[in-house]
Chain A
Amino acid sequence: MTAESGDIAVRLDSITKRFGSVVALDQMSFEVQRGRLFVVFGPSSVGKTTTLRTIAGLERPQEGKLEINGRDFTQAPIAGRNVSMVFQSFALYPHLTVRENFAYPLKEAGTSAADIAKRIDEIAQILSLGHRLDNKPETLSGGEQQRVALGRSLIRRPDILLLDEPLTNLDAKLRDDMRTEIKRLHRQFGITIVYATPDELEALSMGEEIAVMREGHVVQTGTPDELYLTPKDLYVAQKIGSPTMNVIGARAGSDGVSINAPFGNFPLSGVALPSGTDELKIGIRPADIRINSAQQEGIAGRVRLLEPLGDITIVDVDAADQRLKIVVREAEALSLQPGSELSFAFDPARLHVFDAESGLHMT
């Protein structure tokens, strides 16, 4: 084992998993550094849960290789992997109290009673569940059940913690709290976490590294900033960032260094279009567009809708038969109303250019 591979907690190498004729994972590959909070992100039924279940050992892939801490575990039984998992449904043992739920994974490992009690106290204190230890799970609130599920996974100090959409069943306010909570636990325990979520906000706010999934494979892996600033293709560009990136059909200019978009020509900066490229898609983030004051020149548009969100307002604009979204600060939006004319502009350097056919980012 080389020093470098020792830092990789989980490695999936071209994992393929089929259920009958359905391909759940198609050449799935990624690496998770030890101690990372790694997010597997993608819409529902894209294979996130199957990925986690494969790492846990609940599913055996047909092809590919799974390594945990540098050892091949592709077809190994569950027992040998020091992996624990929090299910979307929490999967608390309904007939056991919170204390017994915590103790359950420890009893089997032959931990002494005194040690078990100590660890339960410790985990209950960390998760502030001390007053709930003797209750049955069904009497707990959703957030408490979630914390019990986390505690039960953490109590036997696994190498890797798998979290399968752990916040999906919680309400919005609790989700915010639990996001912070999980990040705190991650720092405190320093364990590797693989976290599956369909929620972009969760992915960006929690992930130190994010794998964006599409149809059973990883499209791009990177830090939140990398994914936001340099998406590999149109799919990632539209999945990351809220509101969604504006995407407009365009054509390559005849000089090869400019683009003809419906509302004007823009110079290409730092992009060399390969010859023969004609159909393009250009993307511009709603936050990268600014609304001009009346005397400045810009692209003319008409306001369709306003979505005030408190601090910011999303302005839905019609310009040259295209629909665009623009994010402005709330103060700037005060003068706007549906139907009013405006002019806007953006820095051409912030344009993302994609090949219309393959969707790949052209940089």
Chain B
Amino acid sequence: MTDTTSSPQGVSPGGASGDPIRRPVFVGPHLARRYARERRFRLLGLASVATAGVILLILLGSIVSKGYSAFWQHEVDLDITFSAEELNPDGGPVERETLLRANYLDMVRDALKREFPDAADDRRERRMLYGLVSPNADLALRNMVLEDPSLIGTTQTVAIKMSDDMDTFAKGFIDRDLPEGDRRVKDREISWHDHLEAEGRVHAAFNVDFFTTGDSREPEEAGIYGALIGSILTLTVTLLVSFPIGVMAAAYLEEFAPKNRFTDLIEVNINNLAAVPSIVFGLLGLAVFLNFFGLPRSAPLAGGLVLALMTLPTIIIASRSALKAVPPSIREAALGLGASRLQVVTHHVLPLAMPGILTGTIIGMAQALGETAPLLMIGMVAFIVDVPQSFTDPATVLPVQVYIWADSPERAFVEKTSAAIMVLLGFLVLMNAVAVLLRKRFERRW
């Protein structure tokens, strides 16, 4: 220990091996190992964060790469003859009733047969030929004629939606080099498709119907509009119920409640409710709202109430911390000017805490928007074509629509599912962005 004077760290005489500068013995060769271990540990941490990031990218990437193609739909231009015999058999003034009942599918089929006369003889081939276009193609024609009866008797070039398999093929997702038995689209269909394409009749159009129609068994007809409206109706109920109750409960617990065992019990309760699995809330909704109170099944009303109970803890906890952040000096000043305790809260504390409360509420709503399991329990998983009009109509919501489509066997539903997920994520990003903006712009720090 005599050498301590020569170096502040304490150097021992025999420690270093041929090194001109003598190193302290207790670090010696260990130090490099310790630093290496330090670097490894740090790298491990970085790798963990990076893993999470990479997984997120893979997740989003796989959704986008599967779903982007759903936003357009291939159509084929066919020369449709709006036959006067079918639409206006007696030659008099056009009757709406006749137009509604007319067989438009035959007009599409006639157009296809004219295009490919050689396929018209064999029954099986004919069926295959008709399968090129969507089985619901007649509805579009009917609407055209209803809108403009002067079309009757003329021949028009109309863009008809292709069926889901042909659409998938036209998008290039079915490999034509596979043996015929291994793919959904047969050689014959491919030759027709190539023929139509060579004539310039096949083209892709933006899939407007995806955003304007309800669910359908035919992937090319299915849209998310119904689920979107269902989500909006459900979330409206959730917001109307959970926001006032949540804010009032938070205000009571934070501003008025005496500190006793009872309020402690409420607090513990709220914290536990926040961690109860969502499916248990579904069971509660099924047993209480549907079986006991007799609310309609599958309705946004029942779904919204269940989600409201689920979001309540989130809103209460967020509102309480927002209220807690308001400094006591504000309360004392208001009390000193003669305001009652309720006036202090409603006139001063609540307005100041509002940005924080709203941020918490939006985040709670975003959670509710993505929630699926409890809604399955109360029957919102039904196949519903119509767009819901009121809180008691049968409806489904966006995440449940994702679940329903993910369960469907058709290949074309995979892209629909991914597209629906993209829309759902879009709404979530939007809501969270609003929440962040609110927090950044209005939140005050005292």
Physical interaction between A and B: no
Which B residues are closer than 8 A to A by beta carbons?
A: none
